[in-house]
Structure 1
Amino acid sequence: MNDLRIRAASPADLDAVLAFWKVAAEGTSISDDRDGVERLVARDPEALILAQAGGALAGTVIAGFDGWRCHLYRLAVHPDHRRRGVGTALLAAAEERFVGLGGRRADAMVLDRNERAHHAWRAAGYGREPQWGRWVKPLTP
């Protein structure tokens, strides 16, 4: 996608992100509300990464770093933009962020029932740890 723009979310984006997750994400979480996402952006303004195509929200990922481990949440791509490199671009931006922060390994929470996502995570170089139910990838600078 030539017009794809990757950027950190701002507080002005939060309502659009919450509406987007209802369309593009598999299920919801207890923290998928305005207060929860506001806390995330206030605590770590670069963690919520957006992909925009033609000015519209095409994808999201949360790239959280706690100083020790890198965590990925809410990788979601709008159904109209899937299979066009949006998820790949979001993961590349998240991994670049992690490496810049000194992260050495990323892990992702992925629903077991979301088999379509399993293929995408494998293609991105992540492997599933069945004992923990997460997908992991070593990061190299």
Structure 2
Amino acid sequence: MDIRPIRDGEDEAVIALWTACGLTRPWNDPVADLTLAKGGATSAVLVAADDAGIGGTIMVGFDGHRGWVYYLAVDPGRRRRGLGRSLMAAAEDWLMVRGAPKLQLMVRSDNEAAVGFYQRLGLERQEVIVLGRRLDG
């Protein structure tokens, strides 16, 4: 599978994959998230694709201090074959080229399967608390 930046015409397939993987939430508009990441100078959406279509995605960004990963998704029918690991490696490469000294990501507190996956890749739980507030209303 080729890992590359998203191409025009692939948005619908990417959002469908995010939805199938349970990554979307009513308060986060995936179309807006995708549009912002694709148009950003410091962000990208990478896809893993072959003749059968898009099998995985990862959104990556660099805020000048840390690299961030979002929307790691692997088609449920293509899991357990190393695709998630390959997407994470591609995101790390993208960040290293841009000089990011650290990679971070957020996992929902009830998603122990994802936590286990990331820990197997060498990521560690951080001693931080994430605070937030909606700015759209």
Q: Above 0.5 in TM-score?
A: yes
Q: Distance in 2 between matches of 1:45 and 1:14?
A: 19
> Structure 2 counterpart of 1:14, which letter?
D
Instruction: Quote the Cα distance in structure 1 between the aligned partners of 2:102 and 2:108.
Output: 20
* Aligned match for 1:24, one of 4, 21, 31: 21
Checking the alignment, whether the CA contact within 8 Å between 2:37 and 2:43 is kept in structure 1 is no
Q: Distance in 1 between matches of 2:12 and 2:63?
A: 25
Could you say which structure has the higher strand fraction?
1
CA distance in 2, matches of 1:130, 1:29: 28
Shift of 1:18: 1.0
1:131, distance to aligned residue in structure 2 (A) = 3.2
Moved over 4 A (4+): none
State the 1:29 CA deviation. Answer: 6.0
AA aligned to 1:67 is: G
Contact 2:59 2:70 in 1 (8 A): yes
The match for 1:99 is 96
* Residue correspondence of structure 1 range 1-141 to structure 2 within 5 A: 4-28=1-25, 30-44=27-41, 47-132=44-129
Q: How high is the TM-score relative to the length of structure 2?
A: 0.84
The count of corresponding residues between Structure 1 and Structure 2 is: 130
* Unaligned stretches of 5+ residues in structure 1: 134-141
What CA RMSD, in Å, does the superposition of the two structures yield over aligned residues? 1.9
Contact persistence 1:9–1:46 (CA under 8 A): no
1:27, distance to aligned residue in structure 2 (A): 4.2
Bigger mean CA deviation after superposition, 50-59 or 22-31: 22-31
Distance 1:126 1:18, change over 3 A: same
Paired with 2:93 and 2:13, the residues of 1 have a C-alpha distance of 25
Q: Percent identity?
A: 30
